[in-house]
Structure 1
Amino acid sequence: MDKLGTVAVVGLLILSPWTALQAMTPVGPGFTPDRPASLFNCQVPLIKLLASSNQAMILAEKVPADKLEITIEPRDHGVQAIQLFDSRQQASPDTPGAGHLGWVMYDPHSGQLLDNSADEQHPRQLTFSPQYGKQYQQCLQKEQRCAAILDQMKLGAIIADSPKYVVRGKGRAYFHVAPTEQCVNESQFVIPNDKVQVVGFAAFEPVEGEKNDYLLVGYGNASGWINVDRLAPLDEICQDAQANAEAMMAKTASPAAKYLVKSKKLYFYDSPDPLCQDEGGKFIVSGDNVAAKQSQAYQQFLFVSYIHPKTGDKTEGWLKAEGLVAR
C-alpha cells in the first residue's frame, strides 16, 4: 500500500494500561464503525484465477491479469456471475462490444468455474491455476471468519486522552479488520513515524484466544486495527520532549540570540521533536526576525519568540535551527 495522508476518522481500541478513557457507552453487538462491504480485497486473487483459466476469449486475446477487469453479480447459493473485460480495448459507438470477453460463473462452495458465454443452458467447465484458486478460497474463508468476529463484538463509545498515535518499531505495521492476528490485512499498512488518528470506541473484551491489544485507527483512506505494541501516544512523546528540553535549558547557561529566517517557510513546533509540529500550521517566512531565549540548540531546535511587525502579535514555539541564521 502506498503511503497515505493523515485524516481524522473513528478509532476503536481494546483497553490497555496506558490508555486513558472517558465516557464509555455500550453500543451492542454487530456494530462496527465504517465497516466496508468487503473486508478484504479478494478480487485480486480472483482476477489472477480468471486470467489463468482456459476461457476462450482470455486465451485468444492473451489478456494478462493486470489488464483484466471484472464486474460481479451475486446469484443464488453464493454463486458469482462474473463479466469479463479487456481494459486495453475501449468501447465506442462504432464498437460497443470492444473489450467484452463474455461471462463466467464461479461457485465458491464447489470451486467450479463455468463459461456460459456461448450457451447458458450448457456451460463449459473451465480449468485454472490451483494456486490462485487456493488463494481465492482462503481469502473468502478469512473474510467469513472475520465478519463473524465483528458481528459478535460488543463496543462502547469512548474518548481517548491522546487522540493521535505514532507508529513505532521497525518495518510495516499492518492493519487488521478485526482485533486479532488472524484478521490481518496484508494489503494495508503504515510505517514508523506515521501518525494515526484514534477517536471512537472500546471493545469490552478481546477476541477469544487473542492476547494482544489493538487500536482501530485511521490513516488517509485506510482504517483498521493495529497492535498497540507498534503505537505510542503522540501527546506523551511531545510532553517528554518538552520536559527534557526544559531540564537541559535549566542546566545549561546560554546567552539569548537573535536570528533571521533563511528558509522560504519555517514551521513552528510545540515541542523539539519532528513529530510535534504545531497543528495549526503556524509558520514564518524568509526575512522574518526572531529572538531565541538561548543560542544553544536542543535536538537541532531553538525556542524562539516572533513579534509580527504590523499587528504586534507574539508567537512562541520551537523552530528548526537549520532554517535560521544568526544576526
Structure 2
Amino acid sequence: MSPKNITASFFLLATLFLVSFRPVENPANKPDDCYRYLTELVRSSNFPLKGFDRKKVNLLIDEDSTDSLRLKLFFDTEGTGTLGWVMYYPKERKLTNITVDPEAPVVLTFNQHFAEAYEKCKGITVTGTRAGKKTH
C-alpha cells in the first residue's frame, strides 16, 4: 500500500469512528409521532362521530399545559369542519368530551395502547385512576 492509500484509509476509519459516537435519535420521540398517538387515541374513543369516518378526524391542540390538553376535533373541509372538543389528562389517562358543556364533561373510553405510546413518546408518568379503559 502506498503512503497515499494509507493516509486515505486512516482518515476514512477516523471519520467512521467519530460518526459512531453521534447521539442516536429515538424515533419514538418525534413530535409527529406523539401527535399521531394522540390522534389515534381520540379516534379510538367513544366520542360521538355519527356519519363521519374516524380515520379522517384530525386534532388541533388548542391548549397544552403540564396536566392537560384541550383538543379540537375537525375534518378537512372548506368550511369550519369542527366536530367537537375534548380534554385529555395524560397523567390520569382521562379523556373527556367538553363539546356540549365544559362544566359537565362526559368521560370517554379509548384504546389504552395509544395512551401508553403517547406517554412513552412524551416521557409521561401516569398517576391516579385509569378512566379511559377500552381495549381493541
Residue 18, structure 1, aligned to residue 8, structure 2: no
Residue of structure 2 equivalent to 1:63:
53
Q: Distance in 2 between matches of 1:78 and 1:63?
A: 29
Residue of structure 2 equivalent to 1:50:
42
Deviation of residue 63 (structure 1)? 2.5
Distance change >3 Å, CA 141–CA 103, structure 1 → 2: same
Residue of structure 1 equivalent to 2:95:
113
Distance change >3 Å, CA 86–CA 61, structure 1 → 2: farther
- Percent of aligned pairs with the same residue? 27
Q: Distance in 1 between matches of 2:64 and 2:30?
A: 20
Q: Report SS of the residue matched to 1:78.
A: coil
Q: Distance in 2 between matches of 1:18 and 1:51?
A: 49
Which one has the bigger strand percentage? 1
Q: Distance in 2 between matches of 1:52 and 1:114?
A: 13
> TM-score when scaled to structure 2?
0.63
Residue of structure 1 equivalent to 2:70:
81
> What pairs up with 1:176-191 in 2 under 5 angstroms?
none
Q: Report SS of the residue matched to 2:31.
A: coil
Residue 40, structure 1, aligned to residue 36, structure 2: no
Distance change >3 Å, CA 76–CA 138, structure 1 → 2: closer
CA RMSD of aligned residues (A): 2.4
> TM-score when scaled to structure 1?
0.28
Which one has the bigger helix percentage? 2
Residue 128, structure 1, aligned to residue 118, structure 2: no
Structure number with the bigger relative contact order (C-alpha 8 A, sep ≥ 6) is 2
What code does the residue aligned with 1:102 have? G
Q: Is the contact made by 1:79 and 1:106 (CA closer than 8 Å) also made in structure 2?
A: yes
Q: Distance in 2 between matches of 1:120 and 1:141?
A: 28
Deviation of residue 127 (structure 1)? 0.5
Equivalenced residue count is 100
Gaps of 5+ in 1: 1-16, 21-37, 92-96, 145-327
Point out 4+ residue stretches in structure 1 off by more than 4 angstroms.
Answer: none
Deviation of residue 124 (structure 1)? 0.5
